[in-house]
Chain A
Amino acid sequence: MLTVSGLTKRFGGFIALNKVSFEVIEGEILGLIGPNGSGKTTAFNCISGALATSEGSIRFQGEEIVGMTPDAICHRGLARTFQIPRPFRKLSILENVAVAAHFGATVRTSEAEARHRAVEVLGLVGLPADPEADPTLLGAGGLKKLELARALATRPKLLLADESLGGLDPTEMASAADMLRRVRGELGVTIVWVEHIMATLMRVVDRVVVLDHGEKIAEGPPAAIAEDPRVIEAYLGEKVVLA
């Protein structure tokens, strides 16, 4: 569904991503992990068009998307969330999601349909669809949900979820992991999930790609990744957490 090959991103002389290649298969939840600064978020930014790719190719459903603007990529059915939630503070929670549903949808959506869709998606993630509700009053968990709702409102085929569980307590984490499973199950959305908290991630994903210092060091099913010596080394012996 998504084929990343030879993806390279340089910031001046610093190489944030070095010839990274991986594939996302339709219907799976792929975990993208790696220590801090390993290039996970940079990869997301390149794929979603927020950053210009230096070299390499990214094909989404057979189409080259390197060089496309973020809105064009969104219209093709590739949505993303941000690591640090970026709600539109001047809009209500409902408007935040409705604006995504109206402008970002893969199919033409009228304003009325967009509002309807927003109510639906907010229900799915468990936020109030009150047209007056102010996003600045949401806590960390609520903001993550809003972030997810906004991305889902665009009816994506592939969702890039960036560290959706950072800053959540264990209960919220479990329910958020469950949420991603439901997103795949009920909406049929393929997911690439970047996450720091690996114990949770390992239980949900089908496959894992591991980045370290901008390079792919391992790829495979969670059980094999947890035993991979290079991964353990990269994580400075976090084997306990992985298992």
Chain B
Amino acid sequence: MNRFPEQKPNRYDALVILVVLALALLCAARFWLAPTDGAAEVVVRADGAEIDRLPLADAERTYQNNGYTLRIAVTAESVRVTQADCPTQDCVHTGRISRQGQSIVCLPARIVITVEGTGAAPYDAIAG
């Protein structure tokens, strides 16, 4: 029953680290290599369903979902969440996003704000 692993790191541990980093790289490549497609626009999804779509131009919007409220500010270059009433504030801390394929995720409100090309989306929405 008792299998005590060694306490000194060995070269097999390095293999685990390499695998983890390779996985990270693979996952990151998906976003770096996402094709840009036409003009960028902001797409807002709540619970996976699109609720708003607006061009990158000065605007402020407020969204409510799952009992939480988000306020976003859009400029000609970027979009950010300016205010959220969730406890973690992760979406506010994400800051500005501007490149196509980038997104801001608010887990409590279940809202995803993505910058997308006006053509095809860099990834498909999937059913929960």
A, B in one complex: no
Q: Mark B residues whose CB is within 8 Å of A.
A: none
